[in-house]
Chain A
Amino acid sequence: MALSRDAVLARLFELIQPFNTKAVPLAEDTRFADDLEFDSLTVMDLVASMEDEWDINVPLNLLPDLETVGQVADAIVKLKAEA
């Protein structure tokens, strides 16, 4: 079943919130490294929570290309459609 991108984005904002210790306002173009200042360990934890939420594997190979929240939403919709 295909997921709506809007639904994914809304849930993604919720999943990021526990890691958003600096209370940065979240938008589609929010960047994980530059705006949220996530380190590699935080990224790993966030990826794990996304994987559990949508029951998918997010391959490591994808991560370097995912700089913004919107890009992650696109990737999840695509991974879910392929699964």
Chain B
Amino acid sequence: MSGTPPVDLLAKFDAIRTEYAFLLSTGLSDPFGVVMERVLSPTRAIIRGRETILVGTYNYMGMTFDPDVIAAGKAAMDAFGAGSTGSRVLNGTFATHVAVEQALKDFYGTKSAIVFSTGYQANLGMVSTLAGKDDVILLDADSHASIYDGCKLGNAEVVRFRHNDAADLEKRLRRVPAGKGKLVILEGVYSMLGDVAPLRDLVGAAKAHGAMVLVDEAHAMGFFGPHGRGVYEEQGLEEEVDFVVGTFSKSVGTVGGFAVSNHPHFEILRLVCNPYRFTASLPPVVAASAEASIRKLMAARDKRERLWAASRKLHAGLKAAGFTMATETAESAIIAVLMPSQEACVVMWSALLDQGIYCNLARPPATPMGVYLLRCSLSSEHGLDDVDEIVRRFVQARAASQALAA
């Protein structure tokens, strides 16, 4: 045995551990440790023994308790068992996986669909596999962590452009040497501030320079565009966008990720993409629930209208009550309130939970530097009276947190 003293590998997290311990010592609720003891509906859960209005679930279309979705899941569990215990390319492809991929092809009107085990893995797989050693990825600076991690997993050169800035993207595309493969990565709705991308300008720049385009529509599925395909459909870009990535964990109401495409050779990714082939496939209950949900979302016009009405009303209500909103108008179903500091944000978040409101506390690195948010998202199952109640409780929580600060 040598006498080398061991290095504690967790010591590098001491600063954040101390900060977190201090936060908990103030007696405020832990914003990263909320437990839902029971879930009553897409809009209500029991937290700390109290019925709480859920205002931060991304359960946009309220599909988690849809009777058809639950019935489909139960039937698949009975027929196929609890799990697949395998990779899609070995023993992990069941009829349920083929069926949910068919539902995606029908929903998006594409030739191909590939399902991953989570949305994170869909980005990890697509980004790391599409762009190889001699290729260049151009990504928006505010991209989701799964996109950045996909870049780290792959071998491509990575160039970042300013958030939603087509001129900045164009300048960087121009600097890429001729002959290199280029992948431009965009999101329809950016999930922190809830702002919508000017995809027409960004995709236009990409195509003018011969780049392929991937758009993540995780926060737009179901309620943007004539068929609910996303912001790219709403802005008329179905012919231009090469790959669309999405998730089952938001509008679809379960878990899983996917990519759809009309590229004639898209299916080859199943054999070369590690986050697809070296992990177990979704359990049959999840695949069957997702299939049922996607098929219902194709005809969910009433849900879309209710979601938009509630989201616009929440934005207007909070703004009228004097809160600083992250976007001028309700651009998406993410309604984010900007807070002046981390401390104010945590105090207000805790006061909201005391009032029976659960929203998301968002801080760096999830948000851009220096941005602290109380991020709200509604579902089609929130009524307009729920929205009035949410705004009322926001005002009460503000009074309570100001009393605490005084």
Report A's interface with B, CB cutoff 8 A: 39-41, 44, 48, 51-52, 55-61, 82-83
- The answer to whether B176 touches A57 (Cβ under 8 A) is yes
Residue among A39, A51, A59 making CB contact with B369, cutoff 8 Å: A39
The residue of chain B having its C-beta at the shortest distance from the C-beta of A52 within the complex is B171
Least CB distance from B306 to A in Å reads: 39
Q: Which residue of B lies closest to A79 (CB)?
A: B175
Q: What are 16 A-B interface contacts by the 8 Å CB criterion?
A: A39-B369, A41-B369, A44-B141, A48-B162, A51-B172, A52-B171, A56-B175, A57-B175, A58-B159, A59-B157, A59-B158, A60-B158, A60-B159, A60-B160, A61-B158, A83-B177
Residues of A within 8 A of B159 (CB): 57-60
Q: In whole angstroms, how far apart are the Cα atoms of A82 and B141 in the complex?
A: 25
Q: Report chain A residues within 8 Å CB of B297.
A: none
Distance from B118 Cβ to chain A, minimum over Cβ atoms (Å)? 24
Chain B residues in 8 Å Cβ range of A61: 157-158
A55, B157: Cβ atoms closer than 8 Å: no
Residues on B with C-beta less than 8 A from A82 are 177
Q: Which residues of A contact B162 (CB under 8 A)?
A: 48
Q: Which one of B158, B175, B370 lies within 8 Å of A55 (CB-CB)?
A: B175
Interface residues of B in 13-59 (CB under 8 A from A): none
The number of residues on chain B lying at the interface, defined by a beta carbon within 8 Å of a beta carbon of chain A, is: 16
Residues of chain B lying within 8 A (CB to CB) of residue A58: 159
B151 CB–A CB distance under 8 Å: yes
- Interface residues in B345-401 (C-beta closer than 8 Å to A): 368-370
Task: Give min CB distance, A5 to chain B, whole Å.
Answer: 21
Please give me the residue from chain A that is nearest to B364 by CB atom.
A40
B128 to chain A, nearest CB (A): 13
Rounded to whole angstroms, the CA-CA distance of A51 and B159 in the bound complex is 11
Question: CB distance B369 to A57 under 8 Å?
Answer: no
Residue pairs across A and B with CB atoms within 8 Å: the count is 33
Question: In the complex, what distance in Å separates the CA atom of A44 from the CA atom of B162?
Answer: 9
Tell me how far the C-beta of B308 lies from the nearest C-beta in chain A, rounded to whole angstroms.
34
Q: Smallest CB-CB separation from B155: which chain A residue?
A: A61
Selected contact of B175 from candidates A40, A44, A60, A83, CB within 8 Å: A83
Using A57-B172, A60-B158, A83-B177 as known contacts, list a sample of 11 further A-B pairs with CB atoms less than 8 Å apart, ordered by residue number in A. Answer: A41-B370, A44-B160, A48-B162, A51-B175, A52-B171, A56-B175, A57-B159, A57-B175, A60-B151, A60-B159, A60-B160
Rounded to whole angstroms, the CA-CA distance of A82 and B177 in the bound complex is 9
Q: Which residue of B lies closest to A42 (CB)?
A: B369
Smallest beta-carbon distance B165→chain A, Å: 11
Chain A nearest CB from B167 CB (Å) reads 12
CB A16 to nearest CB in B, in angstroms, measures: 19
A11, chain B: closest CB distance, angstroms: 18
Chain A residues near B157: list those with CB within 8 A. Answer: 57, 59, 61
Shortest CB-to-CB span from B21 to chain A, Å, is 24
- Cα(A9)–Cα(B151), bound, Å: 30
Bound together, the chains give a CA A83 to CA B159 distance in angstroms of: 15
Q: Taking the nearest CB of chain B, how far is it from the CB of A33, in angstroms?
A: 14
Q: Which residue of A lies closest to B138 (CB)?
A: A57
CA A56 – CA B177 in complex, angstroms?
Answer: 10
- Within the assembled complex, what's the spacing in Å between the Cα atoms of A56 and B159? 11
Give A58 to B158 CA distance when docked, in angstroms: 9
Is the CB–CB distance between A40 and B369 below 8 Å? yes
Q: Which residues does chain B contribute within 8 Å of A57, judged by CB atoms?
A: 136, 157, 159, 172, 175-176
- CB-CB contacts of B146-181 with A at 8 A, as 1s and 0s? 000001000001111010000000011001110000
Determine how close the nearest CB of chain B comes to the CB of A7; give it in whole angstroms.
Answer: 20
Query: In the complex, which residues of chain B have a beta carbon less than 8 angstroms from the beta carbon of A51?
Result: 172, 175
Contacts of A60 in B (CB 8 A): 151, 158-160
Residue of A nearest to B365 (CB): A40
Rounded to whole Å, the gap between the CB of A14 and the closest CB of chain B is 21
Residues of A within 8 A of B160 (CB): 44, 60
Q: What separation, in Å, do the CA atoms of A83 and B157 have in the docked complex?
A: 14
Docked Cα-Cα span, A31 to B40, in Å, equals 55
Docked pose: A48 CA to B165 CA in angstroms: 13
CB-CB under 8 A from B369, the residues of chain A are 39-41
Q: Within 8 Å CB of B136, what residues of A?
A: 57, 59
CB distance from A65 to the nearest CB of B (A): 14
Residues on the B chain within 8 Å of A83, using CB = 175, 177
The residue in chain A whose Cβ has the minimal distance to the Cβ of B176 is: A57
